[in-house]
Amino acid sequence: MIAETESSTVLVVEDDDSMREAIATLLGLSGYRTLLYASAEAMLAEDAVDRPLCVISDLNLPAMSGLDLLIELRRRRWPTPVIIITAFDSPSTRREAMQRGAVAYMAKPFPSSALLTAIHQISPTGGPP
């Protein structure tokens, strides 16, 4: 079970290998620990993480979408903040993600600083770990 406490671990759910690795590199250089998943299902099956700071999920994943992942996490009453990223931005999808509880929604390509700012705003320290 994933606990409700926070840490410097960020879960990254992204089916594009290069994007997943780029996010991991950015976060690693900023002091965050990352756990990487190519699918929402793989992340949901993982039981080893006990204190994630947040989840960064691509919207368009092969099976369960990032929005479906967000809905499932809320259904499970998992309070960890979720940031949705997508190359297929639309006002209606952005609105739905935010209404469903995403703390941020970013259209690719986004500046590295924007992603870090969103994560810093989630952090209990207001900045990097």
Residue 12: name the closest of 102, 83, 80 by CA: 83
Is 36 inside any structural domain? yes
Is 129 inside any structural domain? no
Say what the pLDDT of residue 48 is: 56
Residue 13: name the closest of 80, 95, 96 by CA: 80
Is 95 inside any structural domain? yes
Say what the pLDDT of residue 17 is: 98
CATH number assigned to the domain comprising residue 76 = 3.40.50.2300
For 21, residues 6+ apart whose C-beta sits below 8 A from its C-beta are: 36
Is 118 inside any structural domain? yes
pLDDT category of residue 2 using cuts at 50, 70 and 90: very low
Say what the pLDDT of residue 128 is: 81
Is 4 inside any structural domain? no
For 37, residues 6+ apart whose C-beta sits below 8 A from its C-beta are: 11, 12, 13, 14, 43, 46
Is 127 inside any structural domain? no
Is 67 inside any structural domain? yes
Q: What is the pLDDT of residues 46-92, one digit of tens each?
A: 865 667 999 999 999 999 999 999 999 999 888 899 999 999 999 99
Average pLDDT over residues 107-119: 97
Q: What is the domain count for the chain?
A: 1
Q: Does residue 114 surpass a pLDDT of 50? A: yes
Say what the pLDDT of residue 5 is: 39
Is 31 inside any structural domain? yes
Mean pLDDT of the chain: 91
Asked whether the whole model's pTM tops 0.85, one would answer yes
- Domain residues for the domain of 14 are 9-122
Say what the pLDDT of residue 4 is: 37
Say what the pLDDT of residue 21 is: 98
Say what the pLDDT of residue 109 is: 95
